Every structure is written in C-alpha cells, then in structure tokens.
Amino acid sequence: MSAPLDKKLDSPEQLRPKTVRGRSIGSGYRALFAYWGPALITSMAYMDPGNYGTDIQAGAAFNYGLLWAVWMANLMAMLLQYLSGKLGIATGKDLPELVRESLNSKFDIYLNWIGAEAAAAATDLAEYLGTVIALNILFNVPLLYA
C-alpha cells in the first residue's frame, strides 16, 4: 500500500502496514518490527548521493515518515562493513571465498555465483540508466546510442 508522491496524505494511519485482513497492526514495537523487513532490504543498497536526494524528496512528501529508513540503511551499512572487516582480519579471506568453501556441490556454487552477478548487474543498471538519460537530456543523444 503506497500513496503517490504527489498525493497529500490524510492521516499517518495510511503509512501503517496492514495485515491480510486489512486491520492495522498497531503501534509500538510490533509496528516497528513490521517495518524492519523492508528497511533491512533497502539498507543493503549502497547509500550514495542519488539515494540521499531521493530520500530527501520522499521526506518532503511524507513529512519525515521515512527518515527511519535512512538511519537504518546507514547503521546496517556500518555493521556490514565492520563485520566484513573482522571476517577478513580473522580468516585472511574475503566473504566470497568463505561462502564457496561452505557450499557442497558445484550446482550450489554456480547458483550462488549467478545470484551475485545478477545483484551486481541490478545495482549497476540504475547507474547506467541514469547516465543514458542524462546524456539524452543534456546533449539530445538518442537513448539507443547513449
């Protein structure tokens, strides 16, 4: 359930997640836990200036209702970098090497590799499309050639 950015929200209840039956899940810790799933998934993406710009624009529309996502993303990025550093110092290996050692079959190894490549391609796709659109807007370069 998401409201368009140009639509004014009538109440904060519109931001509250709903259960399958359409009832509100309440407030407090229970509501906070319901938001953690999307927050953790969002925080896995690297927070670059473009993401902050998008967050600021969304904040203007939702009146700081999404500020928690920015904080969670930064905290999760710091945690993941800290844990990756500890892992490298303790074992002398990086995360992909350790994942490969823990997998048993070649099928699992290749499936994990394809998944990692797809995630990297999806991350780079946004940057690539942004460059293509910018070239089109600034220099009238056709999208196909840009």
pLDDT, averaged per 10 consecutive residues of the chain (146 residues), comes to: 51 51 59 64 58 72 74 80 87 88 92 90 82 89 89
**Can you give the pLDDT at residue 34?**
65
**Can you give the pLDDT at residue 128?**
85
d(CA 95, CA 90): 12
Beta-carbon contacts of 9 under 8 Å, excluding residues fewer than 6 positions away, are: 3, 15, 62
First to last CA, the chain: 35
What is the reported pTM? Answer: 0.48
Identify the CA nearest to 79 among candidates 106, 128, 50, 39: 39
d(CA 2, CA 15): 8
**Can you give the pLDDT at residue 142?**
92
State whether residue 14 is helix, strand or coil.
helix
**Can you give the pLDDT at residue 3?**
47
